[in-house]
Amino acid sequence: MPTVDIDTDELRTLTGHDDKSDDDLRDDLFELGLEYEGETDEGELRFEFEPDRLDRLSVEGVARSLRYQYGDDRGVYVPKTNDADWTIHVEDVPEERPYVTGAVVRGLDLDEASLDSLIQLQEKLHATMGRKRAKGAIGVHDLTMLKGASAGGDGEKSVRYTGIDRDGDTFVPLEGDAEMTPGEVLSEHHIGTEYADLVAEYDTVPAIYDSIGLFSFPPVVNGRRTEVSTESRDLFIEMTGTDQWTIDHMLSIVCYALDARGGTIESVRVEYESPPEEYRESLVRPDFSTKTKTVAHDRIERTLGIELEPEDVIDLLERSGLDGEIADETGEPTETAGSPAYDVTIPPYRVDVLHPVDVIDDVGRAYGFNNLDPRYPAVGTIGGRHERARLEEAVRTALVGFGFQDLLNFHLTSAEELHDRMKVGPRSDVLGGGDPVEVRNPYSEDYTVVRTWLLPSIMQVLENNTHRRYPQDLAEVGFVAERDDEVNTGVAEARHVAGALARHDVSYEDAKARLQALVADFDAELATPPTDHPSFIDGRTAAVEIDGDVVGVIGELHPSVLVEHDLELPVVAFEFTLAALR
């Protein structure tokens, strides 16, 4: 889940509520769906939130949401934009990264806090919508350090987005002190080596020029000449990527944040030499156009379980940062005869609103989910816990009794975590080697597949907690899935049980003792015949056989797996199918 680090003094300033204590702000943000995760080393508060609300990746975006919640702002706000003075000419770009967008922001008064917030927003957008810069990358430049080539007799200035050879023109990259070619940046500069894989297969690499020369090497690194500092007042923002929609919406989020800092947005014209099929030859960006969703009144009431007057619905929409008006009778049909519907206007930074249900969620938050009265549903049956859920709870209770700490990890992960880092070949005939279900349009490269086994998730927790005291005994009962053509849905779903012990004197016998006790608690028979598994050490690995069926694996993890996860202590682990304990 994405997180945002917030300076509460900045938040109070941006909201205009100096009277709010840190505790008040935590409570108010929880109402918005931001959960407090603790403090950073710098004393800022860290909050976790749903990955769809990417407009909240900065303190400016969080402050905007709070101002709506407090009733200080209402309805859709669209920043004013001045006419374009700059043009981006696009010619001979790498076919793998053909799209570009941009904006100019003038009149900023940056201090260290606002500059840090801009950098955080840039990196958070890279990690989420930009998929670690693969789908979209942001470059922010000091406009006064650019010299635009003449774009014609109308006084416009221009820069050029193009493709060049790796050993072509030179520039001084950020955090560098010498002229380097793009190829040298990729092999010698610490930022270049980190992102070299992004352009490894390109015949030419992306580059952006002004009349002085090369000043940006997207998606890798900007030039030092245009570096932004607290002295910068006017900014030039460029974004390149593999998808125009993505970088346009990333640009909207950044522009809204800088508008909140008092900046004036100025359009940039994008001139494509060979325009993409779905776009015109010339684009004017940023694109602050709104979109509309039609939502039926009766659907809002059914979903939230409350009765509302139409004027109340419109009021709640405006308090959510949306605009609403009752749809014309000749407009889209409502779901129930006689029930009104609302045409709801969505601001450009809300990339999360894809369906009427998303609008209803906003209405519910503005109303206050804590203000909803719980009531029994009007059905003739009484709910109860599923047999599998009772089994899961019993296994968790037993594991905690054996000294394990219970975990609840994400179901989504990456193929690298499942296979490469665990030394398991994809589509191999071992536990965890199944064909994973892929997410078609993931928000992040860290969450591209559904996990096929639990141990990679536990290893990530151990990797992230090397600074914590040992021993660390971790366990999880959780969901896994893999593709299977023999199942009518095409996906085989299951629940697994996994545990790992990390300590300086741990051995295979420690894991087996706990597994033996767990299986005995459920009146089952355990056998552990020798087996092989690439994640474990040969000769110290066994199959988990419960009541005669092979259902998992147990053993000492291979040193190469430990090194991959930066672990310096031995780890023993087991994993098996939960259904074997029924």
CA distance 88 to 251: 15
126 φ, ψ (degrees, to nearest 5): -55, -45
DSSP, collapsed to helix, strand or coil, labels residue 66 as helix
Task: State both tokens at 154.
Answer: 């109308």
Identify the bridge partners of residue 136 per DSSP, sorted by sequence position: 241
Cβ 88 vs Cβ 98: under 8 Å? no
Q: Is 352 annotated as a binding residue?
A: yes
Neighbouring residues of 192: CB distance < 8 A, sequence distance ≥ 6: 173, 184, 185, 186, 220, 221
Rg (CA), the chain: 28
Q: Is 361 annotated as a binding residue?
A: yes
Burial zone of 205 (CB within 10 Å; 0-12 exposed, 13-18 middle, 19+ buried): buried
User: H-helix or E-strand containing 475?
Assistant: strand 472-483
Task: State both tokens at 128.
Answer: 């989420």
Positive or negative, the CA dihedral 418, 421, 422, 426 is: positive
User: H-helix or E-strand containing 28?
Assistant: helix 22-31
* DSSP-H helix ranges across 376-435: 387-401, 415
| Strands (DSSP E) found in 176-250 | 205-209, 214-217, 221-222, 235-241
User: H-helix or E-strand containing 195?
Assistant: helix 190-195
Distant-in-sequence contacts of 488-493, Cβ < 8 A, 24+ apart: 491/437, 492/434
Neighbouring residues of 126: CB distance < 8 A, sequence distance ≥ 6: 132, 133, 136, 137, 138
Task: State both tokens at 505.
Answer: 């004197």
Q: Is 435 annotated as a binding residue?
A: no
CA distance 116 to 102: 21
Cβ 214 vs Cβ 222: under 8 Å? no
Task: Count other Cβ atoms within 10 Å, centred on residue 177.
Answer: 8
Strands in 472-483's sheet, in edge-to-edge order, are 405-407, 472-483, 491-502, 571-577, 549-557, 536-546, 526-527
Cβ 212 vs Cβ 147: under 8 Å? yes
CA distance 286 to 305: 39
Peptide bond into 529 cis (omega under 30): no
CA distances from 26 to 23, 29, 36, 59 (A): 5, 5, 7, 13
* DSSP-H helix ranges across 269-386: 297-304, 310-318, 356-367
Q: Is 358 annotated as a binding residue?
A: yes
Q: Buried (b) or exposed (e) across 427-452, using 16+ Cβ within 10 A? A: eeebbbbbbbbeeeebbbbbbbbbbb
Known binding residues for Mg(2+)? 352, 358, 361-362
Residue ranges for the binding site? 352, 358, 361-362
